[in-house]
Amino acid sequence: MEDPLGRHYIIELYDCSHTVLDDMKTVRDTLMEAARIAGATIIGEKFHRFSPQGVSGVIVIAESHLSIHTWPELGYAALDLFTCSMDMDIRGALGLLRSSFAPGDIDVHYMERGVLNATKRRAPELLDFAPAVV
Amino acid sequence: MEDPLGRHYIIELYDCSHTVLDDMKTVRDTLMEAARIAGATIIGEKFHRFSPQGVSGVIVIAESHLSIHTWPELGYAALDLFTCSMDMDIRGALGLLRSSFAPGDIDVHYMERGVLNATKRRAPELLDFAPAVV
């Protein structure tokens, strides 16, 4: 089986601290540190704090990106780590993210992106499926 | 069933034009137009062209984000559209993305993010599962 071009970790963080999820500096510093631990090359970043609460942020790395969107009032954050490198310390980065956000509950989905030799693919027509589920 | 906090469209674009996927302006303009059609509020953006080829870019929107990573040499792009708004024109945005990138093959995964009343969740310990699949 051919390696995928990208590895995408889709992480649901539940029951986190309101204070942590609403502090843009803490959220940014945590993602930047996770990128550093992973060995990523940081290309750019954009973080934003919403009023009355919530933080969104993305770090573009040479290996793809990290993103986060937080709902402090619900203790929830949607975290994505996408890498096209096979040489990053994903374990270390996920460990830092876990310890920093200290979720009471977590769910991690792993998705391979860009599997070019996939034997089964949807037809272009099935893009129409996507809007149908909105 | 409670609405999810976020709707995440994970889109695999195959057999695209090398020229399109390697042109940062075209890629950026396409994602910005998709965001506009969707009715998104654009907060910030970061696009980068790699040498010798390839483009990565993210648009942070008030409703979450759009991201893309392209492999022109393989005709492949990994596209993500994440929204926490129930009022965006996702159909229109996906239609624009499809017509602009004109993939020969496409796969769209839809994931609900932040389903707070989920009856089944993994235990925090299972975060260790994620590194195991690296």
- Record: contact B126-A108, CB cut-off 8 A: yes
* Tens digits of residue pLDDT in A28-48: 999 999 999 999 999 999 999
User: Residue B50 — very low, low, confident or very high, per pLDDT cuts 50/70/90?
Assistant: very high
Distance from CA of A18 to the nearest CA of B (A): 15
Average of per-residue pLDDT across B99-113 = 96
* DSSP-based three-state secondary structure for A94: helix
Choose, out of B61, B90, B107, the residue to mutate when testing the contact with A (most A CBs < 10 Å).
B107
Give catalytic status of residue A8 as yes or no: no
What is the per-residue pLDDT across B55-83, written as a single tens digit (0 to 9) for each? 999 999 999 999 999 999 999 999 999 99
Does position A100 have pLDDT exceeding 50, yes or no? Answer: yes
Give the pLDDT score at B103.
Answer: 97
Give the C-alpha separation, B46 to A89, whole Å: 24
pLDDT score of A132? 43
- Range with the poorest average pLDDT among A63-72, A120-129, B26-35, B73-82: A120-129
The pTM assigned to this predicted structure is 0.88
CA–CA distance, A82 with B64 (Å, rounded to integer): 16
Burial level of B121, CB count in 10 A (0-12/13-18/19+)? middle
* Residue B3 pLDDT grade (very low, low, confident, very high; cuts 50, 70, 90): confident
Phi, psi angles (nearest 5°) of residue B16: -90, 170
Could you tell me the two tokens for A58?
A: 């993305």
